[in-house]
Every structure is written in C-alpha cells, then in structure tokens.
C-alpha cells in the first residue's frame, strides 16, 4: 500500500494529450477487492496543425469495494513540434462508480486539464449520470452512458472568452477479450452544448492491449476528435496514434 501511495504522489498532476478522456480505458477488470492499477510509457507520432513527436507516461489507480469503484487517472505528454519546439499537456481525472443494480450504475466525476498545443489554458469538468451494461457476457461487454456535466474553459488564442457551459456526455463503449492476454476497448462520445446544440464534440478512442509476460503488456491506442468550436487556429478534426508498454499491479 505504501508503494502505491508513493507512486500516485510521484505521478500526480501529469496528463494526456487528448481533449476528451476515454473513461472506459481507466477501468481495470478485476474481481479483487482493494487497490489495483497500471503504469505505462508511450511514444507517438501525431499530426494536426503541425507534425509532432510525443513522449508520455500515465498512471491509473483504482480502488474497488463491494458495489463501489473509485478511479484516479494522471497523464503527462511532452510534445516536440516541427523538430524544435517543446510543449506539454496534462490531465487529472477522478471518478466514482456505484452499482446499485447488476447492470445499472451511477457515476460522478471531476476532471482538470490543460493542452498547450490545442490552446487550452485550463478546462475543468464536473458531471454525473447513469451507466448501463447492455450485454450479460463477460467475454464481450457493451455499455451505454448518458451524463450531464458543467464545463469551465480558458482558451489562450487571445480571442475566445472564458466559457461556462452545461454539456451532455453520452457514450457507447465495448470491451472485447478475444484471448486470455488480449483486450480491445473502444468508446465513442457525443458531447453537445445544451445552450447551443451546434457546438458539440464527437470522439472515438480505441485501445488494444496484448500481454507480453508477467504483468507487462504492449498497448496501442488510436484517437479521433471532431470539435465544431475549437480555439482559433486549431483544426476541427484531429487524430492521435500512440503505442507503448504498460505495467499492471494489484
């Protein structure tokens, strides 16, 4: 336990380059009550406005007891732009899941992030809503969630004012386990602004994790984001491809 707390402290405040975090990727499948988690390092090539080389790490910690599940996620990316400029991004996400029916749960989360590449000086989210398990099988799982969240956003383009909006966050997710050591997780989000439905985000993130030996795995992730109202000078659509190694513990 002391080692887990120390590792969490060391990784606190680090974050990912994605604008919409895939909460499904946080859930470590385990029947064990108590602490578990993963740590990973990655290397990525990316293109939106410029060409990027991304080096990053992330830390995921979860605690499970009876019908309660707590999730903490901290990611960090160091980005090299066009061969010479360095920028970074970060995200911290805390989520609580309470399952009050075998296939129905209630979730609540808070999140803070920044992303210099996408001119997000600071974005804070807080939301809650139900989550439904559509399938009964443990070999493949489909989930549907629909949440309401408040978003506070400061953009550093020098034009866009501070945003304070209520958004929806609906998602469809599936997890497949084709072999004992292979996991595929894919999630699609739709996040409209309730005060202006023409302002919305759509994203998909798909991750493939293949066990190598002991608790080590190879992890590959592809992300796509479409935002109708990004910061000035940022494209509406972006993609991200990352690969690296992950270590799981419990």
Write the pLDDT tens digit of every residue in 35-74: 888 888 777 666 666 676 777 778 889 999 999 999 999 8
Q: Does residue 106 have a pLDDT over 50?
A: yes
Is there a contact between 87 and 117 (Cβ–Cβ < 8 Å)?
Answer: yes
Pairing of strands 163-179, 34-47: unpaired
Number of independent structural domains in the chain: 1
- pLDDT mean over 200-227: 91
Higher pLDDT, residue 124 or 27:
124
Q: What are phi and psi of 25, to 5 degrees?
A: -70, -10
Question: Model-level pTM?
Answer: 0.78
CATH number at residue 143: 2.40.160.40
Q: Where are the alpha helices (DSSP H) in 21-154?
A: none
pLDDT at 49: 65
CA distance 200 to 195: 11
Domain that holds residue 93: 2-249
The predicted model gives 102-106 an average pLDDT of 95
Residue 222's nearest CA partner among 12, 6, 13, 25 is: 25
Q: Helix, strand or coil for residue 202?
A: strand
């Amino acid at each position: 336990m002391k080692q887990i707390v120390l590792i969490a402290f060391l990784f606190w405040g680090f974050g990912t380059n994605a604008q919409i975090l895939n909460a499904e990727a946080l859930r470590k499948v385990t029947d064990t009550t108590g602490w578990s988690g993963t740590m990973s390092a990655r290397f990525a090539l990316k293109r939106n406005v410029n060409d990027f080389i991304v080096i990053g790490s992330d830390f995921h910690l979860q605690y499970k007891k009876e019908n309660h599940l707590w999730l903490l996620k901290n990611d960090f990316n160091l980005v090299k732009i066009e061969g010479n400029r360095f920028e970074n991004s970060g995200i911290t996400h805390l989520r609580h899941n309470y399952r009050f029916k075998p296939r129905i749960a209630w979730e609540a989360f808070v999140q803070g992030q920044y992303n210099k590449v996408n001119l997000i000086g600071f974005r804070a989210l807080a939301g809650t809503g139900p989550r439904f398990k559509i399938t009964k099988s443990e070999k493949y799982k489909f989930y549907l969630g629909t949440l309401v969240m408040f978003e506070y956003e400061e953009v550093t383009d020098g034009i866009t004012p501070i945003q304070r909006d209520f958004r929806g966050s609906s998602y469809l997710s599936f997890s497949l386990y084709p072999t004992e050591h292979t996991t595929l997780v894919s999630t699609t989000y739709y996040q409209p602004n309730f005060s202006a439905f023409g302002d919305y985000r759509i994203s998909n993130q798909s991750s493939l994790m293949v066990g190598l030996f002991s608790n080590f795995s190879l992890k590959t992730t592809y992300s796509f984001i479409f935002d109708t109202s990004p910061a000035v000078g940022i494209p509406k659509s972006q993609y991200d491809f990352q690969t690296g190694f992950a270590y799981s513990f419990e």
